[in-house]
Amino acid sequence: MFATKTAARHALLAARNASAAGKGLLESAREHLGARQRIALYVSMGSEPQTGALIDWLLASDREVLLPILYADNDLGWGIAPGAADLVPGRLGLSEPRVDLGPAAIGTADLVICPALAVDRHGVRLGRGGGSYDRALARVSPGTPIWAAVYDTEILDQLPADPHDQPVHAALTPTQLVTLGRPESDRDTSAPAW
């Protein structure tokens, strides 16, 4: 286990950059999407699991894709993806939709696929440290599945966590979907199963 989130981020980014990163999520995601029609996703960068082919396939199959818009305070708004060619440059080199539907739009998604550096088997997600996705995931409608996009080697037994961290339900890798969850003693049994 990593002693701190900072230590975990440094080690995981170094390992990701040194590995054969860059594999896509399309094949794995297609097996598990079901009939979901509105998917909140993101445009991958660098060594992240690639989302471009998945976004193109979702749009070609008449599904709606919500993509994030990064605000100056690091919160996220959401816009409908018109197609990769119609995205505009955003903050920190991100590609974003032109029209912002606002932060609450993520609550209309049938599925959320978010970036992560790693997840643990209890559903703890480690991001890059800006808090953008923790704020956004807090707005997801109850019962909506949240998947973190990682590589197989980034599913760990345990990660450091803070009280504000938002849990994820599964890890989507280029090869599989792995269900995650809190220990049974920590579970809210009144919460709906996804």
Q: Which residues are annotated as a binding site for substrate?
A: 43, 48
Binding-site entries = 43, 48, 125-133
User: What does the DSSP assignment read for the chain?
Assistant: --SSHHHHHHHHHHHHHHTT---BSHHHHHHH-TT--EEE-----TTSPB-HHHHHHHHHTT-EEEEEEE-TTS-EEEEE---GGG-EE-GGG-EE-SS---GGGGGG-SEEEEE-SEEETTS-EE--SS-HHHHHHTTSPTT--EEEE--GGGEES-----TTPPP-SEEE-SS-EEE----GGG--TTSPP-
Backbone angles phi, psi at 186, to 5 degrees: -95, -5
Binding-site entries for ATP = 125-133
